[in-house]
Amino acid sequence: MHAVYIFVSGPLAWAAFIVFFGGLLGRLGWMIWLAKTKDPVIGGYLSFKFGMRSILAWSVPFLARSWQKNPAMTVATFAFHICLFVAPLFLLGHLVMFDGTLSLAWPTLPDSAADIMAMIVVACCVFFIARRLTTPEARFVSRLREYLLIFAVSLPFITGILAFHQIFDPLLMLTLHIASAELLLVLVPFSWLSHMLLGPMIRAYAGSEFGSVRHTKDW
């Protein structure tokens, strides 16, 4: 198992990061090419002002009308995304890894806070699955891959919680934690999880069109 851990935390991790960043750059280039092909005049009304206005407006809980109509979804969405990014980036154990491989360092969260945030991510994933199963409009557009992707997102946090509390074999849980995180990185560029990069671009595009052309808000 120790040899598997060394492989997963070493060569496989580098491969996952290469696929993650390379895939996102490729996806970004393809989206830009597609936008210019289907809408050649896009450059005429793209606006930094209206684009940023839209991004910032949709980044505020309950400001947009859609956020107001679905309060439970709004709370879960913001809690999920905040914890999803903050917990991994500011966990001491992860910082040790970054510092050892890339010589990067920044302030960290207490382990207990990161543990709670990981639990919030898992709880939100359960909520998202339940919503897809019980809400007609969400169930209609949900296939097996959507449920599997939500599970894939939750898996690094589930195994991280188990490893932190030393439930089951600690080395096995740590190995599964790293491997599941790498799987998630690989999946991001090739699934709707890529909205982490493309979402702000689409929001800026819509905000520019509504602001520059229609002279109205898009939230």
What confidence tens digit (pLDDT) does each residue in 35-63 have?
778 777 666 677 888 889 999 999 999 99
Average predicted confidence (pLDDT) for the chain? 88
Give residue-wise pLDDT tens across range 116-160: 999 999 999 999 999 999 988 888 888 999 999 999 999 999 999
Cα(164)–Cα(206) distance, rounded to whole angstroms?
42
* pLDDT at 18 > cutoff 90: yes
Would you say residue 11 lies in a domain? no
Would you say residue 173 lies in a domain? yes
Q: Using alpha carbons, select from 19, 24, 12 the residue that is nearest to residue 178.
A: 12
What's the pLDDT at 173?
94
Q: Return the residue matching tokens 């979804």.
A: 73
* pLDDT at 99 > cutoff 60: no
90 is written with which tokens?
Answer: 């500011």
Q: Return the residue matching tokens 């994933």.
A: 125
What's the pLDDT at 43?
66
* pLDDT at 206 > cutoff 90: no
Tell me how far CA of residue 132 lies from CA of 78, 135, 157, in angstroms. 18, 6, 21
Would you say residue 115 lies in a domain? yes
Would you say residue 41 lies in a domain? no
Would you say residue 15 lies in a domain? no
Number of domains in the chain: 1
Q: Provide the pLDDT confidence category of residue 207 given band limits of 50, 70 and 90.
A: confident
The range of the structural domain enclosing residue 70 comes to 61-210
Would you say residue 110 lies in a domain? yes
Q: Using alpha carbons, select from 82, 20, 24, 16 the residue that is nearest to residue 198.
A: 24
Residue type, 191: S
With a pLDDT cut of 90, the percent of the chain lying above it is 53
Strand (E) positions, the chain? none
Cα(129)–Cα(81) distance, rounded to whole angstroms?
16
Q: Are 45 and 203 in contact (CB under 8 A)?
A: no
Cα(130)–Cα(215) distance, rounded to whole angstroms?
38
Q: Provide the pLDDT confidence category of residue 3 given band limits of 50, 70 and 90.
A: confident
Give residue-wise pLDDT tens across range 148-202: 999 999 999 999 999 999 999 989 999 999 999 999 999 999 998 998 888 888 8
What's the pLDDT at 32?
82
Would you say residue 190 lies in a domain? yes
Tell me how far CA of residue 215 lies from CA of 52, 57, 167, 191, 198, in angstroms. 15, 16, 56, 33, 24
Give, as one character, the DSSP assignment of residue 194: G
Would you say residue 136 lies in a domain? yes
Q: Are 80 and 118 in contact (CB under 8 A)?
A: no
How many other C-beta atoms can be found within 10 angstroms of the C-beta atom of residue 81? 14
